[in-house]
Structure 1
Amino acid sequence: MKFTKEEKSWILYDCANSAYSLIIVTAILPVYFKFVAGNAGVSAHDTTAYWGYVSSFSTLIVSLLAPFLGALGDYLGNKKRFFRYSLFIGLLMTAALFFVPTNQWQWLLVIYTFSHIGYQAANLFYDAFITDVTRNERNDLVSSYGFGIGYIGSASLFVVAMLLITTSTFGLTSAPQAIRIVFMLTTLWWFLFSLPMLRNVEQHYGLPHPKSALKESCQRMLATLRKIRHYKQVLGFMLAYFFFIDGVDTIITMATAFGVDMGVSTSTLLVVLLVLNIVAFPCTLIYGRLAQRYGTRIMLLIAITVYLFICVYALFMKTVLDFWILGILVGSSQGGIQALSRSYFARIIPKKQANEFFGFYNIFGKFSAVLGPVLFSVTTQLTGRSQMGIASLAVLFLLGGFFMFRLREVPVAVSEKE
């Protein structure tokens, strides 16, 4: 399959931001923060709580600003400009993690918060660029390749990071020194794989600049809120997305805690996480290919069914082998459901207002992340079994599948001329 220069450049940015997601958000910085804060006398449960607070705060900020930033980015030329601003904030703040002394845990939190805001804001504009870089009939394929390449990229840098941390490579004398170098490597990786996007991708669809972009953006955002109920396909999908992506994100978020409850060692958890990313690469591409043949809606329903099976399978898990099977099952559909959600949404929205609509898409995706963890935690506490916590997430996939089933398959010609 041949890709245009713009498509290739857009796909490579997924390779850039996925490394940040795995190393800074999920795997290494959270552990390093607990180490630094613990050395300063902060209790283990307080460090966990503080990390949760700043992660929620940065997500809340971007979620609240997303519709406004999206509306502002829909004016011709603004999408690239705001993407660049967000990217550079994220890059500078991630690089700044290298310079934080090992006894300044408060500064780690502050800098991480700003880097996470930059990362999430850049993703808002990046996702919306899919309407500019490719045609509707190629949305599924391009989006899937983006997620697939992202998994391979993040896994590659993660292997390098773990080698640095667990060995004395380059004469390093301690793991904390190695981790700080990993932060800088992540920044460089993010920057280098962003260059094609910065150079080759341009905004082709947008609105003419008004006299007052700020004022009109607010007016447009409010007008869209009032009339969004008339976009039945968009509203129906966002409702389905709200539920099933909450289940997906909760399984990702709670996987480590779930594994620990099952007696899985830390080293095994990291290996499973690495294998999950490797498995996700070909499976995501397969989802994209099959979506072209059988339809995006059908493949999303299949992915939701796989996650339903995961929830049921969790009830019978007893061994480390069961955890491996669960991880591989997650890897088989995680990238597919995320990639096809993005491409399906891109197909049903007006292209000239892509940023504004992706702003609302981000709100539904971010705010949905509240319900799942609460459902998991409450069920686990009431039953005393984390397996029941995972199983309870089946409710979210059933609701998401129900609303997705009610939607129609969207012809590739829809919104092509908008």
Structure 2
Amino acid sequence: PTIGAIADTKGYKKPIFIFFLLLGCICCVLMPTIPGWFGFLVLFIFAKIGMSSSIILNDSMLVDVTEPSRMDMLSTKGYAWGYIGSCVPFIISLLLILKSDSIGLTSSSATMIAFILTAVWWFAFSIPIIKSYEQLSYIEKEKNAIKESFIRIGKFAKNIRHKKKIFLFLLAFFFYIDGVYTIINLATSYGKDVGISDSNLLLALLLTQIVAFPSALIFGKLSSKYKPEQIIKVCIFGYFGITIFALQLDKTWEFWLLAVAVAVFQGAIQAMSRSYYAKIIPKKQASEYFGFYDIFGKGATFFGAMLMGISTQIFSSSRAGVATLALLFPIGYYLLTQSEKADEIVYDETFN
């Protein structure tokens, strides 16, 4: 939120975005060149900071690049192309590493090339943002932008409970995206636990990215007929069904079916959550608000994994962990419904 609050100042968003983009790309290139685990860990942390911060700023740019009526469609297209685009460097890198001997490369050289390719891909497809983005919604420059940013964050934390539409949505987002991210992040671990081979796990993950592309575009088309919160609800139902189905999963074909089902709803729930949130926050403080949005998302990732881990340990079964995970979706659904009922927020200047 601090970085986002500073980036909301006039003329700051793009330079800060470029800084974190370069930080992530440079660290990505350097990671395979550093001997020892500690140096790698430090670079990984900074690369993660660069990635997360640039994504927050990229999300907040949605309020400047289109009108509210087109946000849903644009958000889904962004996720769709992101999914299919990520397959290209992933497949090339995978082939380089697996076939390194046959093409005259050592395993370490192939890994280094894979990291460099990832960084180049990341930077190259960020160039359109650098060239074309203009910050239309902003807060005027102040004498001490950093100090004022902290003051705005304090006001946000103090008053957010009174802005029920935003507050309830963030709570809803925390619970349902908790389930989504935990399913995505722990799918391979659960698959191994029920006997799915490594090769099938890897191919299933790749299939998820490919299927997510057309699925996100289809939901984007549906956004012209249905509200984003309605589509989010459909996705929540979908993920609830996925977790129930996963309870009895023990065959390879069932895992493949599960991967396809996850892909169908994955892009839509992320894209619609982003566009819905962008519509209910003040444009001038979009980066700051998306900073809090990211906190709720990242916190959910930790909470979901912890919840599943504790349940698995107590009952000595990963299926028990999945069953616990299923409970998060009804909670998210209920809170989203309450957010819908809350009064619309009309902004004048800034949130205070």
Superposed pair shares fold, TM > 0.5: yes
1:374 is aligned to 2:306: yes
Q: CA RMSD in A?
A: 2.0
Structure 1 residue 167: Cα displacement: 1.2
Separation of aligned partners in 2, 1:390 and 1:155: 28
Separation of aligned partners in 2, 1:410 and 1:197: 35
Separation of aligned partners in 2, 1:388 and 1:277: 27
Structure 1 residue 366: Cα displacement: 1.2
Q: 1:148 aligns with which of 74, 80, 102?
A: 80
Return the letter of the residue paired with 1:196: P
Match of 2:9 in 1: 75
Match of 1:26 in 2: none
Match of 1:330 in 2: 262
Separation of aligned partners in 2, 1:383 and 1:289: 43
Residues 266 and 414 from structure 1, CA distance in 2 versus in 1: closer, same or farther, beyond 3 angstroms?
A: farther
CA contact (8 A) 1:317 1:387 kept: no
Return the letter of the residue paired with 1:336: A
Return the letter of the residue paired with 2:318: S
Structure 1 residue 414: Cα displacement: 6.7
Residues 220 and 324 from structure 1, CA distance in 2 versus in 1: closer, same or farther, beyond 3 angstroms?
A: same
Match of 1:219 in 2: 151
Residues 334 and 266 from structure 1, CA distance in 2 versus in 1: closer, same or farther, beyond 3 angstroms?
A: same
TM-score normalised by structure 2 residue count: 0.95
Return the letter of the residue paired with 1:401: Y
1:209 is aligned to 2:150: no
Structure 1 residue 267: Cα displacement: 1.3
Q: 1:96 aligns with which of 10, 25, 30?
A: 30
Match of 1:314 in 2: 246
Return the letter of the residue paired with 2:4: G
Structure 1 residue 411: Cα displacement: 11
Match of 2:207 in 1: 275
Separation of aligned partners in 2, 1:219 and 1:188: 38
Separation of aligned partners in 2, 1:410 and 1:271: 43
Which 5+ residue runs of structure 1 have no aligned equivalent?
A: 1-66
Range moving further from structure 2, 293-302 or 283-292: 283-292
Q: 1:391 aligns with which of 315, 320, 323?
A: 323
Match of 1:232 in 2: 164
Residues 295 and 127 from structure 1, CA distance in 2 versus in 1: closer, same or farther, beyond 3 angstroms?
A: same
Separation of aligned partners in 1, 2:204 and 2:310: 26
Residues 413 and 382 from structure 1, CA distance in 2 versus in 1: closer, same or farther, beyond 3 angstroms?
A: closer
Structure 1 residue 291: Cα displacement: 2.1
Describe the SS at the equivalent of 1:292: coil
Structure 1 residue 214: Cα displacement: 1.4
Return the letter of the residue paired with 2:338: R
Match of 1:51 in 2: none
Structure 1 residue 315: Cα displacement: 1.6
Separation of aligned partners in 2, 1:328 and 1:71: 38
Structure 1 residue 367: Cα displacement: 1.4
Match of 1:16 in 2: none
Separation of aligned partners in 2, 1:165 and 1:359: 36
Separation of aligned partners in 1, 2:257 and 2:9: 47
CA contact (8 A) 1:135 1:416 kept: no
Number of positions where the alignment pairs a residue of Structure 1 with one of Structure 2: 350
Separation of aligned partners in 2, 1:73 and 1:163: 39
Separation of aligned partners in 2, 1:269 and 1:332: 18
Separation of aligned partners in 2, 1:417 and 1:411: 18
Structure 1 residue 413: Cα displacement: 11
Query: Within 5 A, what are the aligned runs for 1:161-200?
Result: 161-168=93-100, 171-200=103-132
Structure 1 residue 195: Cα displacement: 0.7
Q: 2:285 aligns with which of 315, 340, 353?
A: 353
Query: Within 5 A, what are the aligned runs for 1:11-22?
Result: none
CA contact (8 A) 1:347 1:415 kept: no
CA contact (8 A) 1:256 1:269 kept: yes
Separation of aligned partners in 2, 1:108 and 1:413: 45
Describe the SS at the equivalent of 2:248: coil
Return the letter of the residue paired with 1:260: K
Residues 190 and 416 from structure 1, CA distance in 2 versus in 1: closer, same or farther, beyond 3 angstroms?
A: farther
Alpha-carbon displacement from aligned partner over 1:78-105 (angstroms, at most 9, x marks no partner):
111111111111111111124224xx22
Which 5+ residue runs of structure 2 have no aligned equivalent?
A: none
Residues 411 and 296 from structure 1, CA distance in 2 versus in 1: closer, same or farther, beyond 3 angstroms?
A: farther
Separation of aligned partners in 1, 2:338 and 2:144: 40
Describe the SS at the equivalent of 1:263: coil
Structure 1 residue 406: Cα displacement: 2.0
Structure 1 residue 384: Cα displacement: 2.5
Structure 1 residue 271: Cα displacement: 0.4
Alpha-carbon displacement from aligned partner over 1:181-215 (angstroms, at most 9, x marks no partner):
10000011011111111111111000110111112
Residues 317 and 291 from structure 1, CA distance in 2 versus in 1: closer, same or farther, beyond 3 angstroms?
A: same
Structure 1 residue 263: Cα displacement: 1.4
Residues 230 and 383 from structure 1, CA distance in 2 versus in 1: closer, same or farther, beyond 3 angstroms?
A: same
Separation of aligned partners in 1, 2:303 and 2:343: 33
Structure 1 residue 230: Cα displacement: 2.2
Return the letter of the residue paired with 1:372: G
